[in-house]
Amino acid sequence: MSDKDTQFWDKAARKYATSPIADIAGFENTLARTRELLSPCHRVLELGCGTGTAALRLADAVETYLATDISAQMITIANEKLAGQGSDALKDGLSFRQATADTLTTEQVKYDAVLGFSYLHLAGDLPRTLGNIRQMLVPGGLFISKTPCIGDMNPLVGLAIPFMRMIGKAPFSVVTFSSVELEKAIREAGFETHFTERHGSKKKDIRPFVVARAP
């Protein structure tokens, strides 16, 4: 990711926060399946948390939950949402912070699970990002992701991205891959693919839910 990505998401944060979730049923299924995989003793890291929607729903299932995003504005909104839940809803183990996989890897902190929802296609260098995630996981730790695979979409979508970037409608770091290519990249990063599911409620679901385990 680059400074241009930070600027893009900072600018888009308020509008993003008010945008409806495209597939509520699919989102709820993803949250439910993720909770089933988490344990009360888990230390969890979420990458690309946006305005904290998933973090606020999942943090009570684990011991600690660090939700991060490249955008300071996204993190500001996430903290506003957390504070708006009231003192009874706040969880001591949940925290929001501006950070990236690159910066977090240098801290050498290990997590039991790393989550990335609608994240990998925006992370820039896919092999580097997956390598960073593997480094941050304890042996046997879980990487749980649900990512739009642009390579499985209409080819016109991929062709439109450079133009959308030029007019400020798309971030700088958008990576095109298919679901097959994504799973291959995850394996090549040293993970064992545990299972893959499709949670979308529409006819075609281009967002595979992939659970992989670190060696």
Q: In angstroms, rounded to a whole number, what is the distance separating the alpha carbons of residues 200 and 139? A: 31
Confidence of residue 1 (pLDDT cuts 50, 70, 90): low
The model's pTM is 0.93
pLDDT value at residue 7:
92
pLDDT tens digit sequence for 23-76: 999 999 999 999 999 999 999 999 999 999 999 999 999 999 999 999 999 999
Sheet with strand 94-98: strands edge to edge: 94-98, 64-69, 43-47, 111-117, 137-146, 208-213, 192-198
Listed in sequence order, the residues at least 6 apart from 170 whose beta carbon sits closer than 8 Å to its beta carbon are 8, 161, 164
Rounded average pLDDT over 131-142 = 98
Radius of gyration, alpha carbons of the chain: 16
pLDDT value at residue 170:
79
Query: At which residue do the structure tokens 């009874």 appear?
Result: 88
pLDDT tens digit sequence for 68-112: 999 999 999 999 999 887 644 456 699 999 999 999 999 999 999
pLDDT value at residue 86:
61
pLDDT tens digit sequence for 106-130: 999 999 999 999 999 999 999 999 9
pLDDT value at residue 89:
46
195, amino acid identity: F
User: From its phi and psi, is residue 124 left (phi > 0), alpha (psi between -120 and 50) or beta?
Assistant: left
pLDDT tens digit sequence for 147-192: 999 999 988 877 788 777 777 777 888 999 999 999 999 999 999 9
Q: Could you give the domains of the chain? A: 3-213 (3.40.50.150)
